[in-house]
Copies of this chain bind each other. A is one copy, B any other.
Amino acid sequence: MKIVLAQQNYHIGNFEWNTQKMIDAIEKAKSENVDLIVFSELCVCAYPPRDFLEFSDFIHRCHQAVEEIKKHTSDIGIIIGCPSINPEVKGKDLFNSAYLLYENEIQDIVHKTLLPTYDVFDEYRYFEPSNTWHVVTFKGKKIALTICEDIWNVGNNPLYRICPMDELMQYHPDVMINISASPFDYTHVEDRKAIIKANIAKYKIPLIYCNTVGSQTEIVFDGGSMVFDKYQNLIAEANYFVEDTITVHLQEDGTFTESILKHAALIPDQELNPITYQSELNIDQIYQALVMGIKDYFQKMGFTKAILGSSGGIDSAVTLALACAALGNENVTAILMPSQYSSSHSVTDAEQLSLHLHNPKHTIAIEPIFNTFMQQLKPIFQDLPFSLAEENIQARSRGNVLMAIANKFGMILLNTTNKSECATGYGTLYGDMAGGIAVLGDVYKMQVYALANYINRNEEIIPKNIITKAPSAELRPNQKDSDSLPEYAILDAILYQYIERRQGPNEIIAQGFDKALVDRILKLVNNSEYKRNQFCPIIRVSSKAFGVGRRVPIVAKYLG
């Protein structure tokens, strides 16, 4: 049986676009005498559709898309993901389903059993879990057809009481097919291979795994669709972070003859050590995820041009380099906005960076704007000393300048805040926290340095001085980040334990960190929740990013 896995990049709610893309792949497969083509989870509407699922109209359009695709099934089997309506009165209205289409009919529908409801996932909000199981038969083959999370319990996943593949094995399937929308994080690629192998080790049949690719606002799907034979041999693996197809021949004995021998360009080979903070792990994957995150955000929002404030610091430099890679150098405008507190190297470093990147740049001094604000505020501020208020006026004047140019020329402002700043609230709301999407909001400062070195791996794109100088917000004379924050190596290590690993203060202190420092940092994190609540979406590359996947109360007094 000749099978194609279509790893495609969909757009949420853009039915016409998604359907056409699938039909193109189907027609191509038909011309190559493919028996079965497999698409990914909820491909008709793209994942995650979130509360659009509460609209009957949206579900209706999903089903119209299925009707459209069905017209192309005269001589090919098609597996697609689509919500289906729960016919029972009780339980949620919808199932998260996989459809087998063939010979102009919906041949079979199966429903997802394990509904991820953690981190960025809200599936129990919308879907009823399946509580019956059967295999899908196609051309004499019995397929254990499952959806994403369904293969993530081989009996020892403590989140779930049911193991769907155990249920399906009583029908003696020949092959497992799993359609997924499984997002990237820099620990996840290895996890995914491990769980696939664990399934084959337990059930002793081949597994065909088709994942989606592309970025949906904050969530990056890396693809990595793959096929393993029943001996746990990796037969084929799609490229990561791009649309791709895999073609395989499933033999009677559960092995494959490949049509096209294919291995992914990117196969990670590092193990995550969950205890220590990882600054350089899989930095190439993080780079690719961020570039795709920017590219897809712009493409799916219908924009081409970006703008950002180029301060001469490392965060804006790395953001600029990533944006140029994603959008083309000519489409990323850097604005230099020195003030009376800016050091001379800030401007020269930022200029040098844009010379290397060949991207448009402008310089706008904010001192006259700041002075006018101060003059108008004088009757209220009187002779009160310079304080955070004055620092914030500068940051917000820059935000206003950037947004004004963005509005005037139809650009989108890229935010340059890193995860360490985002965690500690070291930033000004409506100032340097402004932007349409935060490129580095899930990248700790030490990882930003690793990214800078990765960007410079072949040639000096980011001027060395930007990498080596001490970080500073330059909002008052001789300011350094280290005036307010501990050294980033220590800060990041503590943040990693608190954010990614959900360790409490006692557990972190037990690892050898200073109690006063831990208490201070956790307090900074918890007391800046109100700022993050108004922050733009952050491209997610870790297992726990700020934003939709981390939901913390604002009016709270816990470790704060």
Contact = CB atoms under 8 A, between A and B. Distances in A.
Contacts of A376: 364-366, 368-369, 401
A258 to B, nearest CB: 35
B380 A158 contact: no
A417 to B, nearest CB: 13
Interface stretch (A71-79, A98-106, A175-183, A390-398): A390-398
Contacts of A434: 429-430
A551 B13 contact: no
Interface stretch (A273-281, A345-353, A530-538): A530-538
Given A400-B430, A534-B536, A556 B14 contact: yes
Interface string A469-509: 00000000000000000000000000000000010111100
Q: Which of A118, A405, A506, A507 has the most CB of B within 10 A?
A: A118
A554 B537 contact: yes
Given A91-B160, A369-B373, A429-B403, A52 B296 contact: no
Contacts of A534: 534-536
A530 B535 CA distance: 11
Of the listed residues A160, A397, A429, A537, the one surrounded by the most CB atoms of chain B closer than 10 A to its CB is A429
Interface string A140-181: 000000000000000000111100000000000000000000
A122 interface: yes
Oligomer: number of copies: 2
A256 interface: no
Given A12-B558, A557-B11, A557-B17, A389 B373 contact: no
Interface residues of A, number: 97
A197 to B, nearest CB: 22
A56 interface: yes
A454 interface: no
Contacts of A436: 530
Nearest to A153: B90
A387 interface: yes
B388 A393 contact: no
A21 interface: no
A247 B403 CA distance: 58
Contacts of A125: 117-118, 122, 124, 551
B373 A555 contact: no
A375 B368 contact: yes
B400 A556 contact: no
A379 interface: yes
Given A12-B553, A556-B11, A90 B373 contact: no
Interface string A381-423: 1001001111011001101110111011000000000000000
Contact of A13 (B48, B505, B557): B557
A261 interface: no
Given A504-B57, A553-B216, A362 B380 contact: yes
Residue from A387, A506, A553 whose CB has the most chain B CB atoms within 10 Å: A553
A265 interface: no
A533 B17 CA distance: 25
A555 B397 CA distance: 28
Contacts of A269: none
A243 to B, nearest CB: 17
A193 interface: no
B159 A14 contact: no
A217 interface: yes
Contact of A555 (B296, B372, B548): B296
B551 A122 contact: yes
29 contacts: A12-B553, A13-B553, A14-B556, A17-B557, A48-B553, A49-B556, A50-B552, A52-B553, A57-B505, A58-B558, A90-B160, A91-B161, A118-B125, A122-B551, A217-B554, A301-B554, A362-B380, A364-B379, A365-B376, A366-B376, A368-B372, A368-B375, A368-B376, A369-B373, A389-B404, A393-B404, A396-B396, A400-B400, A400-B430
5 nearest A-B pairs in the assembled complex, by CB-CB distance: A57-B504, A13-B558, A430-B430, A389-B407, A14-B557
Given A91-B160, A124-B125, 6 more contacts: A50-B552, A54-B502, A91-B161, A373-B400, A373-B404, A548-B551
